[in-house]
Structure 1
Amino acid sequence: MTKNIVFFLVAVISQNSWSQNQERSVINGKIKANTNDLEGVYVVNAQTEVMVTTDAAGAFSIQAKPNDTLVFSSIQFKESRIVLTSENFTDLNFTVRLNLVMHQLQEVVVRRYDNINAVSLGIVPAGQKTYTEAERKLHTATALNAEANANGMVGGSISADPLFNFFSGRTAMLKKEVEVEKKEFFMKLLEKMFSWEHFVERLKIPEEYVKGFEYYAVENDKFTTILNSKNKTSTEFLLGELAVKYKEIIASEAK
């Protein structure tokens, strides 16, 4: 009886050891959900940190082996984790079902205070639009002359300042300032969300290239859209994808 138990334990340990040492191979699969928008879902091997995205049909291919964990994540879906079995690699219809994120609002009680607002209290002039500092400079440099009609000029006129700013290039410079201001906002948001160690230790960005990588990331419109949503999981996945491309750029420039 004791010999049988020992033999069984040895067999189990040997099987686990073989499974752990087994080489990874490509597994093909597909996601399904109650939507036709299946493209761009992140599929990450938690053991190797390799990441791919699904195509328009929801299909994906990734290197893995039995007992690896695949993590599926996207803005519109709840995160799902699947521990792979050997059967998944031979299943021609390996499918993972994802659930849509449902945003349920709490009860909202609306009370009407029609006569109390910032305008009625004199805090903000009626009809005034708010601007950032760079946007305010640009608006001032390109605005119509409000005094034109008062001086008898029918239909209004553009003052000399906006014309001068346009031909001197100041308007273009101010527009650039607005774009720089937006980039600086995203840079601060990115640095607030992820530490310096995350870039160096997790994403393997060389220390001297971290700041350059941050600028590279915020130049990507898709990334800044996700970053602005403050969804850390989706932001981290896309940041990892950009890190791979950025390191390829560094490597090519070093040749």
Structure 2
Amino acid sequence: MKTKIGLIFSVLFFQVCFAQNETRKPLHGQVVNDSLTLESGYVLNINSQTRTFINANGLFDILAKPKDTLLFSSLAFQSKKIVLTEKNCQERLFLVQMDLVNNELKEVVVSNGLKVNSLGGGSQRFVDKKFFDDEKSSPKNRLMPADGTIENGMDFVRIFKDFKKILRKKEEVKEDFISDVAFSEYVKINFSPSFFSKDLSLKEDEVELFLLYCSNDAASKKYLKPEDRFMLMDFLITKNKEFKRIATFGK
């Protein structure tokens, strides 16, 4: 009996020690860009399900530990995902370089047959430039269905390949980063802005962070064919419920 109690005590002791070693510590960081100063945005820790704000001069503080995955998002800048290393967590000021949104990516969207038309009152809707007809009707431009999706959504594989060419012009870029960017763009061009603002109740500056959060889930790559857009919508709604539960620390 004493032996069992001693064994249990030893196991609990090592578990406590291990937990202490795994405790997250404050990570002081700054998001920077060569051209502009970041003054707002979010940093999200996927592992701890917490997020914080990027404040003036791009500064942020968040609890983290090695191997945690951090997501960075700010309007006008390309979202970024980083898996922390021991070295990152030991730095007095962890610097994160973020690039401006690549306009060439938008050109890929347009050249593949999608056009965005601005309407009165600040609202927007997407119009597919392709025309369809049948035996009895003349060609007509079909507008976005009421569910918020774009009819005959674009080919994700084609977008991925085009983005890959663009993002790898200057330097070597990882496949998962290209996949994250392609997923975000694919969703944005297949769903109207009102879907994010009204159906998902997301703020404008939360959309990129939310999409990067979704792309981190391997299941996000299962619904990227035009015929799967309703399943993709269901996936986004489910992920939004998770996203809303993430604890946010104020400024």
What TM bracket, shorter-length normalisation? Answer: 0.3 to 0.5
- Which has the larger share of strand? 2
Higher relative CO (Cα under 8 Å, sequence separation at least 6) belongs to 2
Q: Greater Rg, structure 1 or structure 2?
A: 1
Given the two structures, how large is their TM-score scaled by the length of structure 1? 0.38
Given the two structures, how large is their TM-score scaled by the length of structure 2? 0.39
